[in-house]
Structure formats: C-alpha cells, structure tokens
Structure 1
Amino acid sequence: MLIPSTLASARHYITSHLKQVDPAHDPVVVMDATIGNGHDTLFLAEIVHPQGKVYGFDIQPEAISTTTKRLEQANLLDVVELHLLGHERFDEVIPADLCGKLEAVMFNLGYLPHGNPSIITRPDTTITALDKLSEWLAPGGVITLALYTGHPGGQEEADAVVKWASSLPAKSFQVMWQQILNRHHAPSLVVVEKR
C-alpha cells in the first residue's frame, strides 16, 4: 500500500529524526506519553538502545504491567523508565536538566486497546502536556499525535489538539496533519517539529 497507516507514518517521522541525532554527543532521550500496550514504547526502546532513555507514562496499572513484560521479553527494560502517572505530569519525574533535550514524543490518544473504554485521554491533560513539551522538545525534535475520534470524547480531544497545533508560531514549529478523507472515524496524525 502506497499510503501509510497513521502508526507507520508516526514511526517514520520519529525514525527519520532520530537517525540524524548523534548519540555520541548526548544520550538520546525520548518519551511515550501514552504507553498503552507498550508497542510504541518498545519501538522507541529499540531505536535508542543501548545509550538512550525512554520515559513512558500511563494512568492504568495494566498498561505498565503489559509494557514491562513486553520490554522484558525484548531485553530492553534497562533503557526504559515507566511511570504510573498522567502525561501532563511528566516534568515531575523527568530530570529538569533534560528540558530542551527531548528528541521525540509519541502520543496515541484515546483508550487502552482491549481495556476499559471509559478511561480515555482528555483534552485538558493532553493540552497541558503539549504546552510543557513545546518547551522540553529539543531543536529539531518531533511530537507525533495519533488522534482517534470513534469513541465518546475523541472528537473533542482531536479538535483541541488540532487547535493547539495550529496556534504554534510558524517561526518556531512546523506542523502537519495527515488524514484519511474517505473513511468515517479514521485515525489522523498530527506531527509537530521544533525548528
């Protein structure tokens, strides 16, 4: 298929950026803001291993447990630090000297697949996290946000993210929004690159 999926596109942009980062200069630090079942966390760990660091966040204990097992099986738990904490509180645990040094951040918004669909990411906490991350992101760093609108609250969050991203100053950020136009409730992708 010529047109990539939302997930494939997110991973492409993250990989493309991280290939340009020199790990000899500084260890590569990245963040999975919504670890879910740990697929993005594992993807990030594979890229930054062995010198880098992945910080992962989720509010559900089962997400932490599933992701820990996935990372243990891949022998990559040593480069990951998981936190049972909302992503808007990342700055409580990531060392302050890493502000301006996060190279990549991934968001998969919505609810935990195969989990409780009533526990969802919310616009207020997501925008709070994004406001902070615009400062914490390294020059050239990338944030990807997979937006899902097929569940209650999803469209409101997607609208809030698009509004936030659209308001970023063009001198400091480049923003793209990728959508499938002929499928109802198809996920879309917002990519934010810091200049």
Structure 2
Amino acid sequence: MINLNHAVQFQHNLWQEALAKAHCIVDATVGNGHDFLYLANHCAPHASLFGFDIQLAAIKATQERMKECSRRDISWQLSLGDHADFLGPDTPLDYPIDLAVFNLGYLPSGDHSLMTKADTTIRALQGALSHLTPQGMITVVAYPGTPEGAAEEAAVLEYITGLPQRDYDVSTWRPLNQRNQPPTLYILRGR
C-alpha cells in the first residue's frame, strides 16, 4: 500500500520507473543513509550511486547502513561536503544524472544547527538540472516546520516554479490534513 502521509516514503513510488533504467543516481543529502540504501537496493544493474553530505556523522552512518546492501553489480561513492560543491553549476561533472534526490533540513540524530541552506540548495539544484538526462528526475523533500526550513522551502518553490515548462515538468505533493507542517515533496522531470 502506498503511504499517502509521508513524503519521504511516498517518493519511493516515483523513483521506481527511474531506478529501473538509471545509470547515474545522486543522493545530494545522504543523512542517515536510508534513502541511499533504498536506491542501492532498487537500482538497475551496473548503476553508479553518488552520495554527499556536509556532516561526517552522516557519511559514517550511510557507510554503516550500506553494509546491509549485498549488491555487487553496482558502484557507489560517498563524499563529505556541501551538495553545492559537488553539484553546483560551476562544478565540472563528468556524468549525466538520471535521478537525483534531496532530503533537506538537518540530520535527525546530528547537530540540528547544521541544516541545508536555501542558497546552496538552489545552486545544487541548478547543477543537477544542468546535468539531468532527458526524462531524468529530481525529487526534493522540504521541511517547513522550522523558520529556517520554511525559508528554504520558499526559496526552492520560487526557483522551481520559474523553470521553463518547455524543459521541465514540475509538481508538488503535500499531505493536506496533517498537523505540524509536514514535509512537502517536489518533483522535477526533464522533458
């Protein structure tokens, strides 16, 4: 059954088609590694996964979680640093991106003062979009429950709303009857 009240889980349903044929998958904010492991377990053979996070604790948690992955027909790499440093428009990437995922905010078990920021998230999105394959997909889960998260979501929404319709399909998914400002899922697909 599709979970209709949880943005992070709901996006897994959207990833299925992309994962079946993706060669390059990017997790721009690996966090505790749950999404990275999911992507690794469900991607096509010979796919390459790249994961980034600004916190060493997140990289270590994801490395530990990947011990649960028995796939030997894929490659994966984790890098410590801001997603804008790896995906920004001025960063030379040597691979086209089929699927990129962003789970914004802070590391739940980490330092809550270290959060994704609107400016670097926008730069990372610009870079990911510039390398997105035709029909490639980007999902962004934003958390408006804190003032910082609300500001970041507003900036992301403003940016993606302005993307040209001829190049991208942009949509959103949000639970409507949930309390405490639940996360919002944004979906971007190349045309």
Q: TM-score w.r.t. structure 2 length?
A: 0.90
Counterpart of 1:39 (choices 34, 42, 49) is 34
Cα 1:124–1:95 shift into 2, 3 Å = closer
1:82 aligns with 2:78: yes
1:102 aligns with 2:102: no
Q: Is the 8 A contact 2:40 2:69 kept in 1?
A: no
Letter in 1 for 2:9: A
Aligned to 1:18: 19
Q: Cα distance 1:126–1:91, how it changes in 2: closer, same or farther (>3 A)?
A: closer
Cα separation, partners in 2 of 1:64 and 1:166, compared to 1, 3 Å: same
Going from structure 1 to structure 2, the CA distance change for 1:2 and 1:13 (only over 3 Å counts) comes to closer
Please report how far the alpha carbon of residue 161 of structure 1 lies from its aligned counterpart in structure 2 after TM superposition: 0.7
User: RMSD in angstroms over aligned alpha carbons?
Assistant: 2.0
The answer to whether the 8 A contact 1:180-1:186 is kept is yes
Secondary structure in structure 2 of the residue aligned to 1:96: coil
- Look up the SS of the partner of 1:97 in the other structure: coil
What SS class does the counterpart of residue 175 from structure 2 fall into?
A: coil
Asked if the contact 2:83/2:121 (under 8 Å) is kept, the reply is yes
Q: Deviations over 1:81-128 (max 9, x none)?
A: 000011111148x97331xx2110111100001211111000000000
Q: Residue type matched to 1:130 in 2?
A: L
What does residue 6 of structure 1 align with? 7
Distance 1:164 1:91 in 2: 16
Q: What's 1:114 paired with? A: 109
Residue of 157, 160, 163 corresponding to 1:168: 163
Which runs of no fewer than 5 residues in structure 2 stay unpaired? none
What is the CA distance between 1:150 and its match in structure 2? 1.3
How big is the shift at 1:74? 2.1
Aligned length: 186
Question: TM-score, normalization: structure 1?
Answer: 0.88
Question: Is 1:48 equivalent to 2:43 in the alignment?
Answer: yes
Deviation at 1:169?
0.3
CA distance in 2, matches of 1:158, 1:95: 26
Corresponding position of 1:193: 189
Mapped contact 2:3–2:9 kept (Cα < 8 A): no
Unaligned runs of 5+ in 1: none
Sequence identity percentage: 35
